[in-house]
Chains A and B, each alone.
Chain A
Amino acid sequence: MTDLILKIEKLHKSFGEKVILNDFNINITRNTSQVIIGGSGTGKSVLLKCILGLIEPEQGIISYNNTPLNRDTRKEINFYDEIGMLFQGAALFDSLTVWENITFAIKSKRKSDLREIALDKIHKVGLDSTVLDLYPSELSGGMQKRVALARAIAKDPQLLFFDEPTTGLDPIMADVINNLINEIIDQVGATAITITHDMESAKKIADKISMLYKGSIIWSGDPGEIECSNNPYVDQFINGRSEGPIKINIKD
Chain B
Amino acid sequence: MINYIYNIPLAIGSNVINLFAHIGKISIFFYEIIFCTFTLPLYFKTFFNQVIKIGYNSLPVIGLTAFFTGSVLALQIYVGSSRFNAESIVASIVALGITRELGPVIAGLMLAGRVSASISAEIATMKVTEQLDALTTLSTNPIRYLVVPRVLAALLTLPILVLIADIIGIMGGFVVGTQSLGFIEQSYIKNTFDIIQLNDVISGLIKAAVFGFIVAFMGCYHGYNSTGGAQGVGRSTTKAVVSASILILASNYILTSLVFNS
Q: Which residues of A contact B (CB under 8 A)?
A: 49, 52-54, 78, 80-81, 83-85, 87-89, 91-94, 104-105, 151
Contacts and interface: CB of A to CB of B under 8 A. Distances in A.
Given A87-B134, A91-B134, A93-B134, A81 B129 contact: no
30 contacts: A52-B136, A52-B137, A54-B133, A54-B136, A54-B137, A80-B136, A80-B137, A80-B138, A80-B139, A81-B139, A83-B137, A84-B137, A85-B137, A87-B130, A87-B133, A87-B134, A88-B130, A89-B129, A89-B130, A91-B129, A91-B130, A91-B131, A91-B133, A92-B131, A92-B134, A93-B126, A93-B131, A104-B140, A105-B139, A105-B140
Nearest to A79: B139
Interface in B114-154: 126, 129-131, 133-134, 136-140
A81 B134 CA distance: 13
Contacts of A49: 133
B139 A52 contact: no
Given A49-B133, A84-B137, A85-B134, 19 more contacts: A53-B136, A54-B133, A78-B139, A80-B136, A80-B137, A80-B139, A81-B139, A85-B137, A87-B130, A87-B133, A87-B134, A88-B130, A89-B129, A89-B130, A91-B129, A91-B133, A93-B126, A93-B131, A104-B138
Contacts of B131: 91-94
A84 B138 CA distance: 8
A53 B131 CA distance: 15
A-B pairs with the 10 shortest C-beta distances? A105-B138, A91-B134, A80-B139, A91-B130, A85-B137, A87-B130, A91-B131, A54-B133, A105-B139, A104-B138
A54 B130 CA distance: 11
B130 A52 contact: no
Nearest to A148: B134
A82 to B, nearest CB: 10
Contacts of A78: 139
A54 B136 CA distance: 8
A83 B134 CA distance: 12
A71 to B, nearest CB: 11
Contacts of B126: 93
A176 to B, nearest CB: 22
Contacts of A105: 138-140
A154 B140 CA distance: 15
Contacts of A88: 130
Contacts of B130: 87-89, 91
Contacts of B136: 52-54, 80
Interface in B127-184: 129-131, 133-134, 136-140
B227 to A, nearest CB: 12
A87 to B, nearest CB: 5
Nearest to B130: A91
Contacts of B139: 78, 80-81, 105
